A = this chain, B = another copy of it.
Amino acid sequence: MGLTIGIFDSGVGGLTVVRELKRLMPRQPVVYFGDTARTPYGTKGPDTIVSYARENAEFLLEMGARVIVIACHSAASVATDTLRATLDVPVFEVVTPSVQQAVRLTKNRRIGLMGTRATVSSGIYPRLIGREDPEIRVFGQPCPLLVPLVEEGWLRCRETRMIIRRYLRPLKMQQVDTLVLGCTHYPLLKDIISKKAGRRVKIVDPSAQVAEDVCLHLAQNGYGKTTGSQDEDRYFVSDIAPATAGIVRTFLGREVELLVP
């Protein structure tokens, strides 16, 4: 029997988590909720984000989810404890697995972080990395152009490559040997980022990390052999703008029906 995984994000970025989950477990049913009407969360206060996260998680539970994945960096930072305390299903989030992976990978204890302005200035990554190893230095680079570049679908443009090179410059100056893609949009630019960062820099992709954790959890609990179909997956967004379908196609690489709750 299938165990439905519920994933929510403030927008469509969390679809990179869905993509990784489907890559690892193609037949595990998922239900996605992107809060496109209230995006972005990063600029909102903690209480507001917690109440949105609760609403989103409760909606996913109503839709049959039995595992919750918080695919939004802002919600992961402030709402994880509340959701774990109030929900009786496992709650995963994008930040912790990538923190652990980055700490494991770095040799020179210099980690770079690319993220939205909100994520970088929240200080969540340096704080959690510092708890694992206080000797590690984290260099944050806000990259506000990367989300709109991804949402434009300009994944292979010269402009995109130039902008990524520009954002990476200060991180390369700091000789980071590990680079966290601290925004769920960035995995779509992973190949360019990896190339421009240089062969010696290891890339940490939070979407892939959390998907691995969920996969491991399901396998340990005997849910690894689901025989569902991806036609059972459901994709909800709180607002469908004219561009939304195209952006979703960029993320998933295929057409899906978008539903409004």
- The interface size of chain A toward B, counting residues with CB under 8 Å, comes to 24
User: How close is A139's CB to chain B, nearest CB, in angstroms?
Assistant: 16
Contact A142 B243 (CB under 8 A): yes
Closest chain B residue, CB of each to CB of A45: B37
Interface presence of A159 (CB below 8 A):
yes
Q: Please pick, from B37, B117, B166, the residue contacting A159 in the complex, using a CB distance under 8 A.
A: B166
Q: Which residues of B contact A222 (CB under 8 A)?
A: none
This chain's copy number in the assembly: 2
Bound-state Cα–Cα, A121 to B239, Å:
14
Interface presence of A145 (CB below 8 A):
yes
Bound-state Cα–Cα, A130 to B145, Å:
34
Interface presence of A219 (CB below 8 A):
no
Bound-state Cα–Cα, A121 to B163, Å:
27
Contact A241 B158 (CB under 8 A): no
Mask for A225-261, Cβ within 8 A of B = 1, else 0?
A: 0000000000000010111000000000000000000
Contact B148 A145 (CB under 8 A): yes
Residue of A149, A152, A239 with highest tally of chain B CB at under 10 A: A152
Contact B162 A158 (CB under 8 A): yes
Mask for A160-176, Cβ within 8 A of B = 1, else 0?
A: 00110010000000000
Contact A241 B121 (CB under 8 A): yes
Contact B117 A241 (CB under 8 A): yes
Q: Which residues of B contact A241 (CB under 8 A)?
A: 43, 117-118, 121
Q: Which residues of B contact A162 (CB under 8 A)?
A: 158-159, 162
With contact pairs A39-B43, A162-B158, A163-B159 given, residues A121 and B152 touching in the complex (Cβ less than 8 Å): no
Bound-state Cα–Cα, A261 to B26, Å:
51
Q: Which residues of B contact A117 (CB under 8 A)?
A: 241-243
Bound-state Cα–Cα, A142 to B153, Å:
13
Q: Which residues of B contact A44 (CB under 8 A)?
A: 37
Q: Please pick, from B158, B159, B242, the residue contacting A121 in the complex, using a CB distance under 8 A.
A: B242
Bound-state Cα–Cα, A166 to B152, Å:
12
Interface presence of A144 (CB below 8 A):
yes
Interface presence of A151 (CB below 8 A):
yes
5 contacts between A and B (CB under 8 A): A39-B43, A117-B242, A118-B241, A158-B162, A162-B162
- Interfacial residues, chain A to chain B (CB-CB below 8 A): 36-37, 39, 43-44, 117-118, 121, 142, 144-145, 148-149, 151-152, 158-159, 162-163, 166, 239, 241-243
Given contacts A117-B241, A145-B152, 13 further A-B contacts (CB under 8 A): A43-B239, A43-B241, A117-B242, A121-B242, A121-B243, A142-B243, A144-B151, A144-B152, A145-B145, A145-B148, A159-B162, A159-B166, A162-B162
